[in-house]
Chains A and B, each alone.
Chain A
Amino acid sequence: MKTFNFVLYGIFPYIAIFIFIFFSIYRYTRRGYSYSSLSSQFLENRIHFWALVPFHFGIIFIFLGHLVAFLLPTYILSWNSDLTRLYILEISAFMGGLFTLMGMLAIFIRRWTNPRAKIVTSRMDWIVLTLIMIQVLSGLGTAVFNSWGSSWFTAVANPYLMSLLRMDPQVGFIAPLPWMIQLHIMGAWLTLFLFPFSRLVHILVVPNPYLWRKPQMVRWNWNPKKRFI
């Protein structure tokens, strides 16, 4: 069991990180134009909004929350030293998770019931969707049944992740945790492992300048009326 845990939390993360870095670069240099999540908005545009917007806003918020907890653990603990603030943080995170979950359900329904969306959904898309669904459900379950993650993250997950960075993995922090949290952590490494082979690569090439560039006006460079006379 000890060896099994070590392989799972002490060795597999390095494999996942290596695969993530190496194949992300490899795919970008060899097949750069495949770096996309292939929009299907054109094929179905009604459920699309209620799937895409909640999912993306939800998951970006949750991801940033995890990142802040990892980078600034002492600030999170100070914030949580007041119970009201702890509750605000936990409920906000839970809302973010539920928002993501609703978006994911809409994604599943849309891609399964709409024939046009279904046909452009690859096997890897289904795998990644299922994996993220497991992540969202195990995260929500942890928030409810193994609270308060925003505080214990700093004492359990943080030292574990730091030990990975120091190349001295301390799996003792993770191995005794409830199965739901272990599933969440394992799911994270697995997602990283599959990242370069899936549509998740679009995260690396988000066209952020869209957010602040000046609006563009697209217009014909000939007189379309003249053309049909």
Chain B
Amino acid sequence: MRIPYFISGLIFLTSAVGYAQNSPEQYFQTNCQACHTIGGGKLIGPDLKDVETRQTREWLINWITDPASVLASGDPYAAKILIEANNVPMVPSPGINAELAARLLDYILEIATSGTPVVAYIPPTFTPEDIVIGKAIFLGKQKLTNTGPPCVSCHQVNSLSGLGGGKLGVNLTDVYFRLGEARGLTNWLKAPPTVTMSPVFADHPLTDEEIVELMAFFKNEGETTNAPTLASVANFILYGILGTILLFVLIGSIWSGRFTAVRKPMIAASKHTKSTIQG
């Protein structure tokens, strides 16, 4: 019995060490930068410069490692920043633990006090072509340069008619405005931080050009929003049921002359013969 414990313990340790080996800077870029800046102003989440003047380090570590529990505990400050973030909740980052959270806070403090100049953000201008290409990328008609999967695999936008887009991920109709418009969404799309998207796009990142085109499409979607509908799900189920009924009719007719029994058909045949004689 000791060996499985030993193996699982070893795996846990090696995985923890694996994450811990990432430098806080690298970790920040991959997991935090999508929603936060250090001195660059609010994105989706708050600017993290001076974060330790707003809350204690203990609170921050709790928040970084398990945001859902802090929110669930009814913490007023957590509730406040959730509202300020358009109700986009803080996501737990892959492999986060108290030690790594402390190192991240050290890194934030270091950057905030070093006086590193913040690069001014220039929002892109979207052309009508960008919207068209963005839609093609969303639908998978135009393949992603780094071979990531198309958005429609998991996401829906309300303008899609028929059976709509995927339902695994969230509806992206208002994503442009929900995730802080061009600046917030650019950072988000550069390194999607959620646990579902992060492993998928870590090795297949979107290019800067693709991000602009997708944002143009999402902005357009958000501005010309259609109401969400459940018709696509109902249609999907209906087509499936109709098709299945057809399959049953098909096998019933293909094997209509199948062998069913020995005695019963003989009895039926004999009865038929008797009635014919009597008649």
Contacts and interface: CB of A to CB of B under 8 A. Distances in A.
A146 to B, nearest CB: 4
A147 B260 contact: no
A147 B247 contact: no
Given A49-B255, A49-B260, A143-B236, 19 more contacts: A3-B11, A6-B11, A6-B15, A46-B260, A53-B255, A80-B140, A81-B150, A83-B160, A94-B239, A94-B243, A95-B240, A97-B240, A102-B248, A147-B236, A148-B153, A148-B166, A152-B154, A170-B199, A177-B168
A209 B48 CA distance: 69
B239 A91 contact: yes
Interface stretch (B120-128, B141-149, B175-183, B271-279): B141-149
A28 interface: no
A77 B143 CA distance: 9
A161 to B, nearest CB: 14
A49 B152 CA distance: 39
Most buried by B among A82, A87, A99, A151: A151
Interface in A1-27: 2-3, 6-7, 10-11
A53 B253 CA distance: 13
A87 B199 contact: no
Interface string A35-74: 0000000000110011001100100000000000000000
A172 interface: yes
Interface string B241-279: 101100110010001001011000000000000000000
A19 B12 CA distance: 25
Given A144-B236, A176-B195, A98 B244 contact: yes
A148 B140 CA distance: 13
Interface residues of B, number: 44
Nearest to B12: A3
A176 B196 contact: yes
Contacts of A54: 247-248, 251
A156 B143 CA distance: 17
Interface in B129-165: 139-141, 143, 148-150, 152-154, 160, 162-163, 165
B195 A175 contact: yes
A72 to B, nearest CB: 14
Contact of B236 (A7, A46, A91): A91
B170 interface: no
A159 B251 contact: no
B11 A151 contact: no
B236 A94 contact: yes
A54 B244 CA distance: 10
Given A156-B200, A159-B199, A99 B244 contact: yes
A173 interface: yes
A155 interface: yes
A87 B200 contact: no
Given A151-B166, A172-B199, A178-B168, A144 B233 contact: yes
B94 interface: yes
B116 interface: no
A7 B141 contact: no
**Interface residue tally on A, bucketed by range:** 35 or more
A2 B94 CA distance: 10
A3 B152 contact: no
A3 to B, nearest CB: 5
Nearest to A48: B260
Contacts of B15: 2, 6
A80 B141 CA distance: 9
A175 B240 CA distance: 29
Most buried by A among B240, B241, B261: B240
B237 interface: yes
A10 B12 CA distance: 12
A220 interface: no
B140 A81 contact: yes
A222 B239 CA distance: 56
Interface string B56-82: 000000000000000000000000000
Interface string A153-181: 01110010000000000101101111000
Contacts of A94: 236-237, 239-240, 243
Nearest to B147: A74
Given A3-B8, A54-B247, A54-B251, A151 B240 contact: no
Contact of B168 (A90, A152, A154, A159): A152
Contacts of B258: 49
B260 A152 contact: no
A91 B261 CA distance: 36
A152 B243 CA distance: 24
Contacts of B165: 148
